[in-house]
Amino acid sequence: MVRILFSKLAFVEIINKKLYFHMADGNVHEVNSTLAAFEEKLLARSELVKVHRSYIVNLYHINKLGSKELVTGSGTTIPISRMLCGKVKEAYMKHLFLEKGVE
């Protein structure tokens, strides 16, 4: 078992029934599980958003947001689902304004 601080979690990725927790410092923690097993608990956090069927991203670790992809602070490019694009942009804009103290 490894304790993962949400503030240090950059994104979560599922590949072939393995869940990868990518940390901001470059470390990756691997778990044999499905994304569905963790999804509800992860998405209960306001800073985490599902951007694709295979990815959940921490809004604090997004450096660039486009219409089809985003780039994390570590330079990783992550695809954004067409169906989730609007929701992701809305969550990111809300996050930006809350972080700057504007409501």
Residues 6+ apart with CB under 8 A from 74: 10, 22, 24, 26, 61
Task: Check whether 94 has a pLDDT greater than 50.
Answer: yes
For residues 20 and 37, what is the distance between their CA atoms, to the nearest angstrom? 13
What are the sequence ranges of the domains in the chain? 6-99
Q: 32-67 pLDDT, tens per residue?
A: 999 999 999 999 999 999 999 999 999 999 999 999
Share of the chain above pLDDT 90, in %: 84
Asked whether the beta carbons of 22 and 12 are under 8 A apart, the reply is yes
Task: Could you please state the CATH topology (level 3) that the domain comprising 6-99 is classified under.
Answer: OB fold (Dihydrolipoamide Acetyltransferase, E2P) (2.40.50)
pLDDT reported for residue 98: 74
Task: Check whether 102 has a pLDDT greater than 70.
Answer: no
pLDDT reported for residue 103: 46
